[in-house]
Structure 1
Amino acid sequence: MHEIKSFKIFQTAKVVAVMYAVMFAIFGVIEFLAFMRMGPRRPPHMAIVLVVMPIVGAIFSFIGVAISCWVYNLIAPHIGGIAFDLEPRSENQV
């Protein structure tokens, strides 16, 4: 059994923020393409969404994960951390 004692707050928040920025960018492109099919009825601000959505998503996810890691680091010493089992991976598994 292994236990996560604490998280590196900045590193964890940074990784999650980048992951969310990429996901929001992908969803922004999909949404943009969907609205482009609407023709002249499409909202005029859709190009802005392609830029703003990933940035805002990254900022809010960074803040949220940083706060979550900080709270986890405060609580874990008192009640224990997240516990999990590790199993070595064989050469045949991918």
Structure 2
Amino acid sequence: MAHRLSRFSIGQTAKVLGVLYLLMGLIFLPFFFIAAALSPKQTGFGVGFALVLPVLYGIIGFVCTAIGCALYNFVARLVGGIEIQLDSSGPTVQSGLRPAART
């Protein structure tokens, strides 16, 4: 069965990906500290900048995702969106999780 992805919720998608980018920045933070400690030249980036870096990743991820979603929504209106195939013949799994509230 073919479905079309005709629109992304800009705010919700940007919020989720902004948080994911922030988390990725936190994951890479120790590697940044190690690279800075092993660098023979100190470039002036201190611990404060390293701690702000994940937040900047999150903000940039939010903004770029919002722009990307807006562009996708515009183009999808013109050409119809991405077509995907969903297989509904497989077994249905009950996760026990409640569905997210609609906003």
- Pairwise TM-score range, normalised by the shorter structure: 0.7 to 0.9
Structure 2 counterpart of 1:17: 18
CA contact (8 A) 1:10 1:66 kept: yes
CA contact (8 A) 1:25 1:50 kept: no
Amino acid at match of 2:16: V
Q: Where do residues 3-42 of structure 1 align in structure 2 (5 Å cutoff)?
A: 3-36=4-37, 38=38, 42=42
Pairwise CA RMSD of aligned residues? 2.4
What TM-score, normalized by structure 2, do the two folds share?
A: 0.73
Distance 1:79 1:45 in 2: 46
CA drift at 1:19: 0.6
CA drift at 1:49: 3.2
CA drift at 1:53: 0.8
CA drift at 1:33: 2.6
Structure 1 counterpart of 2:70: 70
State the identity %.
33
What secondary structure does 1:20 align onto? helix
CA contact (8 A) 1:13 1:63 kept: yes
Distance 1:12 1:39, change over 3 A: closer
Which has a greater percent of helix?
1
Distance 1:42 1:3 in 2: 52
Amino acid at match of 1:74: F
Moved over 3 A (4+): 39-46, 88-91
- Structure 1's unaligned 5+ residue stretches are none
